[in-house]
Structure 1
Amino acid sequence: MAEHDARAELAALPARGIDWSRLAGGQRVRPAGRPAAVLVLFGRLDAVPAVHDAPQVARDLDVLLVRRADTLNHHPGQVAFPGGRQDPGDADLVAAALREAEEETGLDVAGVEVLGALGALPLPVSDHLVTPVLAWWREPSAVRAVDAGESAGVFRAPVADLLDPANRRTSVLPGTPYRGPAFLVADHLVWGFTALVLDQLFDALGWTEAWDRSREVTVRR
């Protein structure tokens, strides 16, 4: 698949939308909370190809992720999309996602092409209503963990490796009924909100490869 094909498929998704009415585990949640947004940024982020040869995507297609600082009150140490709460000065949720991504990773937002916002997804743990903003990194720029108090690292995740059935797991949280999708990539475990968004996104795009949902990984908050 050529680069422009992946971008075109991603660009068509906001108009179709994704149904976030159910979180992992099948529990309905109240669609309320403080407005927030994350930047789901795809593109050719570096010259290193994926290990897995996926039939639906090119090996140079990546998504930008951050690892949250271990000292944060909510979701410490977890892999996430860059983003955060909407501030009064933000024109809208798209502006919030871009501002937060720039503050967290130092990316040059001038090189980011916003493809559209997806439907808001409730995140009860931190009482937020989060809107994923889908974007294409038209002109990649250098990124890093700008604030050690917020992020422990910034990295690109090859989409083909995320799709690799060998890297897919079902995450379980001891003492709870939680069961959700998870990914192993670049020595990181991606689970929770971020994995849920990626899982539903890949399904909606028709990129998902069949994987063994009985393979579990235990996680902790």
Structure 2
Amino acid sequence: MEFDKLIKILKSGLEHPLPGKDAQLIMSPQPVDPKRFLTRESGSHRQGAVLIMLYPDQGQAFFPLIKRPVYEGAHSGQIALPGGKKEKEDPNLIHTALREASEEVGIVPETVEVLGTLTDLYISASNFLVTPVIGISHIKPDFVPEEKEVDRIIQTTIGQLTDPTFRKRKNLELSKNFSLDTPYFEVEKEMVWGATAMILGEFLQILENGKQI
């Protein structure tokens, strides 16, 4: 999708109430984990934020995804949006998203226009309540992956999310006795699933809402 057209649609979509849980559920693994939909006041979770940062390349709208390196942890090797935990020094979660994206992929926070935030989503595997932040850059960033946290950066077109041929489903076996019926986006032969897919599902619904003008 053309960058300028997308931004117009997105801004219009953000004028509507957030789609929230209903949109997140479209890309949720089954059975649904009810903990996903914790409120900010619930439990002893940690706070974090991720960034959907849109930018132009040859007139088309892109955003970066990252592949985590293989490590001893809950999200080893997974595809994610740039982001991480809120530090004490962060004045708010928007700052967290921009700071983490700067550290992980080398964006310059001052070049990002923040449009708003999406619905919080809880990630039980790491005990984070994550706030997705939407921002735009009118220039293509010079991406630099942080070696310890990012295996590679995947520059993703919005078209890859909206094209139904990139939306798939599989039975994902997480252990010998537990599996999930998992919808996902296939991007550069990588599986974008779980919380990241659910966040992107709400983002796509916002775009749909923005077209109704």
Q: Does the TM-score normalized on the shorter chain lie above 0.5?
A: yes
TM-score range, shorter chain: 0.7 to 0.9
Task: Supply the RMSD in Å over aligned alpha carbons.
Answer: 2.2
1:133 maps to 2:133: yes
- Per-residue deviation at 1:142? 0.3
Equivalent residue for 1:98?
98
Task: From 204, 207, 210, give the equivalent of 2:206.
Answer: 204
- Change in 2 beyond 3 A, CA 1:100/1:19: same
1:75 maps to 2:75: yes
Equivalent residue for 1:159?
158
Structure 2: runs of 5 or more not aligned:
none
TM-score using structure 2 length: 0.82
Equivalent residue for 2:55?
43
- Change in 2 beyond 3 A, CA 1:152/1:96: same
Distance 1:34 1:172 in 2: 29
Distance 2:54 2:206 in 1: 16
TM-score using structure 1 length: 0.79
Q: Secondary structure at the match of 1:149?
A: coil
Give the partner amino acid of 1:198.
Answer: L
Identity %: 29
Give the partner amino acid of 1:18.
Answer: P
Structure with greater helix percent: 2
Higher relative contact order (CA 8 A, sep 6+): 2
Structure 1: runs of 5 or more not aligned:
48-58, 208-221
